[in-house]
Amino acid sequence: MSTDIARIATALDRAARQAEPLAQFSASSPFSLDEAYLIQRASMARRYADGERMVGVKLGFTSRAKMIQMGVDSLIWGWLTDAMLEEDGGVVDLGRFIHPRAEPEVCFVTRRAIERPLTQLEAADYLEAVAPAIEIIDSRYQAFKFSLEDVVADNCSSSGLVVGAWSRDFAGLANAGVLMRIDGRVVQAGSTAAILGHPLRSLVQASQLLARAEIALPAGSLIMAGAATAAEALTPGAHVSVEIAGYGECGFTCSAARAPQQGTRA
Ligand code: OOG
Ligand code: MG
């Protein structure tokens, strides 16, 4: 299996760099969820070797809307790097993606290192701030279709993120309205309560998953809590914004150039 881990990790890394989709692996050479996280780690190691820097972690499938859209029903996590950071209000180059989608998220930045599982009561104490955010996901698999193991191996489709202005108000997060707009039109509406009942639960979950993987997350790391609604496909020139009531908004404009291949929407 170790050769398979290296082979799949290399293929996924190449697909991401070249923005070329791959067939799912799990259908032809099945692997376990533990092996999927090993593939994820091996593929990220290639990026770190090339100078990319880890800036935090993301959770996936923390809302029912996302689970239903993608047909997957377990929480997953992956890595965020500096190369994924896009400027709030900036232009995002669609040329580096295969079939990108955007989804509304809540982003935390940690104040203390997370080295053990946290309770929900202590979670806020580990945080410096929270901000409205947009995640750009771009599955490396054809037609954006995958099994749970495939998507974990693919670093949970992580590709980009835009983070808005930071706030220290964690109390308002329980049930804040979430709107995602494309060209000013509301395309997704929801609530932060859709994220595991409360976005702080994502932090608790992240701490448990990291402890299980024997990973300590340094202070100053970003944690993306997972999308509150389904994701929307990005198209050339589109302006995407996300507003979280009480926390403001963030957004970006897609470059005019076409992405190499547009995926099908779930
Ligand atoms: C996997 C990533 C899921 C989220 O916020 O739920 C995710 C995908 O949908 O391709 O990032
Ligand atoms: Mg996400």
Does residue 264 form part of some domain? no
Percent of the chain with pLDDT over 90: 92
| Residue identifier of the C-alpha nearest atom 7 of ligand 1 | 60
Joined together, the tokens standing for residue 163 give: 């983070």
pLDDT band at 264 (very low <50, low <70, confident <90, very high): very low
Does residue 262 form part of some domain? no
Q: What's 32's domain CATH number?
A: 3.90.850.10
Return the ligand 1 atom nearest residue 105 CA.
5
Output the pLDDT for position 29: 84
- Sequence-distant (6+) residues with CB within 8 A of 20 are 14, 98, 260, 261
- Sequence-distant (6+) residues with CB within 8 A of 29 are 4, 8
pLDDT greater at residue 28 or residue 8: 8
H/E stretch holding 237: none
Output the pLDDT for position 113: 98
Enclosing domain of residue 227:
3-254
Does residue 259 form part of some domain? no
Does residue 260 form part of some domain? no
User: For 227-241, what is each residue's pLDDT tens digit?
Assistant: 999 999 999 999 999
Does residue 179 form part of some domain? yes
| Residue identifier of the C-alpha nearest atom 4 of ligand 1 | 60
The 8 Å CB, 24+ separation contacts for 183-186 are: 183/238, 183/239, 184/239
Which residues are found with C-beta within 5 Å of the ion, ligand 2?
A: 135, 227
Q: Helix, strand or coil for residue 13?
A: helix
> Cα(217)–Cα(57) distance, rounded to whole angstroms?
9
Tally the domains of the chain: 1
Q: Helix, strand or coil for residue 135?
A: strand
Pairing of strands 239-244, 85-86: unpaired
User: For 182-197, what is each residue's pLDDT tens digit?
Assistant: 999 999 999 999 999 9
- Residue ranges lining ligand 1, Cβ < 6 Å: 58, 60-61, 66, 70, 103, 135, 137, 139, 151, 156-157, 226-227
pLDDT band at 83 (very low <50, low <70, confident <90, very high): very high
Does residue 266 form part of some domain? no
The answer to whether 79 and 159 have CB atoms below 8 angstroms apart is no
Classify residue 3 as exposed, middle or buried by CB count within 10 Å of its CB (0-12, 13-18, 19+): exposed
- Sequence-distant (6+) residues with CB within 8 A of 121 are none
Output the pLDDT for position 258: 58
Does residue 261 form part of some domain? no
Does residue 93 form part of some domain? yes
Classify residue 49 as exposed, middle or buried by CB count within 10 Å of its CB (0-12, 13-18, 19+): exposed
- pLDDT of residue 262 exceeding 60, the answer is no
What mean pLDDT is reported for the chain?
Answer: 95
